[in-house]
Amino acid sequence: MTQANPLLDFSDLPHFADIQAEHVGPAISTLLEAGRSVIEQLTSQQAEVSWENFVEPLENATEKLGRAWGIVGHLNAVADTPEMRAAYNENQPAITEFWTELGQNLALFEKYKALRAQPGFDALPVARKTIIQNAIRDFRLGGAELPEDKKQRYAEIQEKQAALSTKFSENVLDATNDYGLFVEDISELSGLPDDVIQAAKTAAEKDGKSGYKFTLHFPSYFPLLQYADQRDLREKIYHANATKASELAGKPEWDNSAIIAELLQLRKEEAELLGYRNFAEVSLVSKMAESPAQVSHFLEDLAQRARPFAEQDLQELRQFAAEQLGISELQSWDSAYASEKLREQRYAFSEQEVKQYFPEHQVISGLFRVIQTLFDVQIQADTATTWHKDVKFYRIEKAGVLIGQFYLDLYARNGKRGGAWMDDARGRRLTANGVQTPVAYLTCNFTEPASIDGVTKPALFTHDEVITLFHEFGHGLHHLLTKVDDLSVSGISGVEWDAVELPSQFMENFCWEWDVLQHMTAHAETGAPLPRELYEKMIAAKNFQSGLQTLRQVEFALFDMRLHDHFDPHGTQSVQDILNTVREQVSVFTPPEFNRFQHSFGHIFSGGYAAGYYSYKWAEVLSADAYAAFEETAVSGNSLSRQAGEKFQTEVLEVGGSRPALESFKAFRGREPAIDALLRHSGMTQ
């Protein structure tokens, strides 16, 4: 098994066509054994420590383990099967144990401190100095200085947290995959666009049933909320989505309530073991923000600025719903529907009308044009084995030289975790054989192409989906365009978590540029580009309900920070109490009592955003200000400035995590970030 194990071949790209669940255990065991062997050699050697005889061999060993486990984790997220899930869960404790052991290894810690203390430290390249300093910080956060009994408890906490986070995600996925709302009579689907109805019909046919099937995958359930004239249909799908993986869903085996409670208890215990008051303080050690109080002040200030606009948004929506739609008391399952009708009336267009101009091939071509113009690179189709027939693969070159590759997995399907994300398959580093180029996974959950009467139509994207695609590609560019040759700080590695959203949110802005949209749109039937008149309506509607949207994000971020800062898991308040308190403080439109949003809040319970969800708004200040530099150099309204793009590439994208993000921002912008551009772009200026 080991000799032919595709997970142990690191010569190039992953062999997705060959990888089976049965390969996971043997591969991980082999790599764990090899990693421990290297660590033993490094900690027993008596030679004076150097980068070459210590850091490089350690990175070589841990990179292989990270790459192999990354493939397994990726497959578990995008091609979930009972066999792969079992293999992932069986091996996760051993992986967690290894990284915990490494983080607590005092001998390794001492060698990093010896490197830092050497007279030649200051002469090292910036990237290597950063890696050494980050390692010293992470050993302390990993419990390396704890007494042995507390080290053991710390390790137990890490293993339990990893298992609980995985189970949280599995429960959400299983609840999502399990649900189906079947409608027999097409007349009940009044208001829904034809392509949504066709997708629902195809979904029912796949189940061998008649009628129309709606699921809790976003491209299926959200159009019901947005377009369905039948109010009871909207309420049904809203209730199902708002209670999934909770005690109200009728599936106790998928209820995340106990997992949430235990995760919060374990995080608080971890923080106290390390000498911190709470987990929020631990989380912020490696971020730009200095304290939980600073984050809370930032969020509360933003909420205060947004509140007058949100109150006006809600007043207008309630009045419109009552006067035009006969909805005297606006409920959460009415808001998307009423908002879409109000948008159509006010701006004389619908999202469905806009969607007809965004066929997949045209959007991808337009996205690539933006990247190629800004950063002077070329993107071409490439070949590789993939995990699903719909996945595409590309390469990025500069002056004919390969600099990176990426997989593009766009469509929602069963067995694939919801949402959109970028992850790294391989990082850039300089090896004895030359530069190892980076590889990225870019994953979304859009509606797949529809097949009508045996003819496959191209997938059509909403403008929001186009923005999502640009967002994830911004992360991809951060990873792929790096010029740092040391793995631990190349690309997105080592970048502060609250700055990692800077390139992604920055890229979103180009989705509103007239010149960009001209090259990114072609009507599904006529092939005509987006008309100027429709574009002007989109721009007029750009900040439609931005006050409400801002408060919604602040609510999520403040809830996350309160859970990890003030909340006592052993106290009298529940998690729901904390959420209710936050909503009382910042929200103007409160969801119904049965809403259990937190039970599927994967960002903080199964992702990396615990005490870090504020990063989206924090980084949005940076990204809006960065984009303002392109606005300032725009020619005839075209902000695709090669000059500004080159500077952003050089000072932000290429340096990765080799220096603090604030330094990179100031090197690009020439000053500290300011909130003005964010408020202006959001239409929240008086």
State the virtual CA torsion across 248, 250, 251, 254 in degrees, nearest 10: -10
SS (H, E, C) 538-551: HHHCCCCCHHHHHH
In whole angstroms, what is the distance from residue 428 CA to residue 73 CA? 20
Is residue 379 predicted with pLDDT exceeding 90? Answer: yes
Fold of 279-347+544-681: Neurolysin; domain 3 (1.10.1370)
DSSP state of 652: I
pLDDT, averaged across the chain:
96
> Residue 456: what pLDDT?
83
Give dist(CA 366, CA 529) in Å, integer: 12
pLDDT on residue 47: 85
Residue 28 has what pLDDT? 98
The CATH label, of 1.10.10.10, 1.10.1370.40, 1.10.600.10, 1.10.150.120, for the domain at 355-526 is: 1.10.1370.40
Find the catalytic residue in 101, 472, 496, 555.
472
508-523: pLDDT as tens digits:
999 999 999 999 999 9
State the pLDDT at residue 450.
82
* pLDDT of res. 677: 92
Structural domain spans, the chain: 6-145, 179-243, 279-347+544-681, 355-526
Cβ(576)–Cβ(545) below 8 Å = no
Give pLDDT, residue 637: 80
Instruction: Establish whether 472 is a catalytic residue.
Output: yes
Asked whether the domain spanning 355-526 has the same topology as the one spanning 6-145, the reply is no
Sign, CA torsion 125/127/128/129: positive
Mean pLDDT of 323-336: 98
* pLDDT at position 2 over 70: no
Measured in whole angstroms, how far is the alpha carbon of residue 59 from the centre of its chain? 26
Question: Tens digit of pLDDT for each residue in 559-592?
Answer: 999 999 989 999 999 999 999 999 999 999 999 9
Task: Please say whether the beta carbons of 591 and 235 come within 8 A.
Answer: no
Distance of alpha carbon 497 from alpha carbon 608, whole angstroms: 9
Helical ranges in 6-147 per DSSP H: 21-44, 56-78, 82-103, 106-117, 126-141
Q: How far apart are CA 74 and CA 425, in angstroms?
A: 9
Q: What pLDDT was estimated at residue 3?
A: 63
Express each pLDDT in 118-165 by its tens digit: 999 999 999 999 999 999 999 999 999 999 999 999 999 999 999 999
Instruction: Give the C-alpha separation, 331 to 75, whole Å.
Output: 39
pLDDT score, position 1: 47
Predicted pLDDT of residue 686: 65
Give the Å distances, CA to CA, from 366 to 313, 469, 517, 529, 624.
Answer: 33, 11, 8, 12, 21
At CA 149, angle to CA 148 and CA 155, rounded to 5?
Answer: 85
Q: Is 117 exposed, middle or buried (0-12, 13-18, 19+ CB in 10 A)?
A: exposed
Residue 318 near residue 339, CB atoms below 8 Å: no
d(CA 584, CA 227): 29
The CATH number corresponding to 6-145 among 3.40.640.10, 3.60.20.10, 1.20.1050.40, 1.20.1560.10 equals 1.20.1050.40
532 by Cβ neighbours in 10 Å (0-12 / 13-18 / 19+) ranks as: exposed
Q: Is a pLDDT exceeding 90 seen at residue 457?
A: no
Partnered with residue 483 across adjacent β-strands are none
- Is the pLDDT score of 554 beyond 50? yes
Q: What is the DSSP letter of 598?
A: G
Q: Indicate the pairing of strand 439-446 with strand 401-411.
A: parallel
